[in-house]
Amino acid sequence: MNKRILVIASDNIGLGFNQVEFPDIEYLQFPIIIDEQEFRESETYTANWLIEKYTKENIVARTTSIVKGELIEIVEKNKDKYDLIVHVVMGSNMSAATYTIAEDVRKMYEEIIPIINIDTRQVVGGVGVILLRIIDIIKETKDADEIISLSKEIINTTFSFFVIPDLKYLYKGGRIGKAKALMGSVLRIIPLVGLLGDDDEGLILPIGRGRTFKQVNSLLISTINNKLKDYSIDKAKLINIISMNDNPEAFSDLKEKLEVSVPCEKMIIGEPHLVGSVYLGPKSYSLSINLK
């Protein structure tokens, strides 16, 4: 019997939904809060809408966890159609509440349908990269244990890097981690921070800084190449780069440098989502890479 598997993901994956070529997938929406008002991504409320709001108004936005009822609704709707659910969850290191909700729902349905919660230890594009790689696995195997074991390796070898000209959005959201060391400079600096799959603590780390986007891009490229070297890998599996569409020159420079200097099986230019833009702010962009 061919086992039927449903994948659940969220709208914080740094990918357009049409970029995920898998029919059996459901998406949850992360709410964001601005001045006590809740927003969900829609045609009106997009990443670009928030970035523009950030530029023009002095607002503070924050994200909240997924809504438990919405997850239950998805599971309830699909529990009889599938034999297994794989939920690709934003990193518990970044949102413990979301992962707890996912675990609660898994336990609720323990007797009804098995649910595997994949703690990606990533956000935004990193979750997207892991989602695509897990879909690759599901296409090869339907065995739950094998999916779990192969996912672990993918998570450990997935790295996200963020070029964030203004760290205040990350700081206000309480996600600054060790990257705080890059804040408060008299000189205008452009920080490069990272969320590294092989970092046990799973905190946002300072990777480096530059005075121009080109400098930061070069630093990013050399950081990736060092990772490839560390893992003795000739060619990365998958790269996903995402920009907020307000810094085209810097983003093109990164893309060109990647094409020339980083061997990779597949490179995707992802799409920003509302929730993903909350902590990044204007002129930021990110790169997520899976090595193997």
Partner 1 sequence: MEFAQNETLEIKKTLENIYKFLWRHKEYVNRLNVFPVPDGDTGLNMTLTIQGALANLPDYSDNSISPGEYLKVFAENMLLNSRGCSGVILSLFWQGIAQVLVDSDFSAGNVLKALEKGYLNAYEGTENPQEGTILTLMFELKEKYGQVMLDEENPVVILINCIPHLREVLKKTPDMLPVLKKAGVVDAGGAGLLILLEGMEKEFSSKQTPDALPISSVLNINKTLRKLLKSRSASLRYSPPGTLVQNLGVDNISNIKLRNIIQNVQFYVNNILHNSKRLLSRDAIIKDLDDMESSWNPDIKQRYCTEFVLKSNKISSQDEMKQLIGGYGDSMIVLNSDDIYKVHIHTNKPDSIFSDVSKYGELVFTKVDDMKKQHRNFISHDTIEYEREQSVFCIVSGDGFKKILENLGADDILNYGKKKPSVNQLVKAMNQLKAKNIIAATDDKDILMALKYAASLSKSNVFIVESKSVISLISMLMAVSNDLDIKNMSFMNRLNDIRYCGISRAIRETTAEDGTIVKKKDFFLMHNGKIILSGKDIKQVVVKSIEKLVEKESLVTLYKGIPAKRHNILPELKKTFQDLEFEEYYGGQYQLYYYLTFE
DSSP three-state, residue 243: strand
Q: Near partner 1 by CB under 8 A, which window of 28-36, 74-82, 188-196, 268-276? A: 188-196
CB of 6 to partner 1, least distance (A): 28
Residue 165 as a binder of partner 1 (CB under 8 A): the answer is: no
Comparison of 85 and 216: residue with beta carbon closer to partner 1: 216
201 to 81, 177, 223: CA distances (angstroms): 38, 10, 19
Structure tokens at 21: 């070529």
CB of 73 to partner 1, least distance (A): 29
**217 contact partners, CB below 8 Å, separation of at least 6:** 163, 250, 253, 254, 257
DSSP three-state, residue 35: coil
Comparison of 129 and 190: residue with beta carbon closer to partner 1: 190
Among 3, 40, 152, 178, interactor with partner 1 by CB under 8 A: 178
Report the distance separating Cα 34 and Cα 223, nearest Å.
Answer: 35
Among 149, 185, 252, 261, interactor with partner 1 by CB under 8 A: 185
Tokens 């995707």, residue located: 268
Residue 200 as a binder of partner 1 (CB under 8 A): the answer is: yes
**210 contact partners, CB below 8 Å, separation of at least 6:** 189, 190, 192, 216, 218, 219
Site for partner 1 in 204-263 (CB under 8 A): 205-212, 214-215, 219, 230
CB of 175 to partner 1, least distance (A): 15
Comparison of 213 and 279: residue with beta carbon closer to partner 1: 213
**116 contact partners, CB below 8 Å, separation of at least 6:** 84, 85, 86, 87, 144, 147, 148
CB-based contact 291:231 (threshold 8 Å): yes
Comparison of 189 and 280: residue with beta carbon closer to partner 1: 189
Q: Near partner 1 by CB under 8 A, which window of 143-151, 165-173, 181-189, 259-267? A: 181-189
CB of 181 to partner 1, least distance (A): 5
Q: How do 190-196 and 236-243 pair as beta strands?
A: unpaired
Residue 23 as a binder of partner 1 (CB under 8 A): the answer is: no
CB of 215 to partner 1, least distance (A): 7
Radius of gyration of the chain from its Cα atoms, rounded to whole angstroms: 19
Site residues (CB under 8 A) for partner 1?
178, 181, 184-189, 192, 200-201, 205-212, 214-215, 219, 230
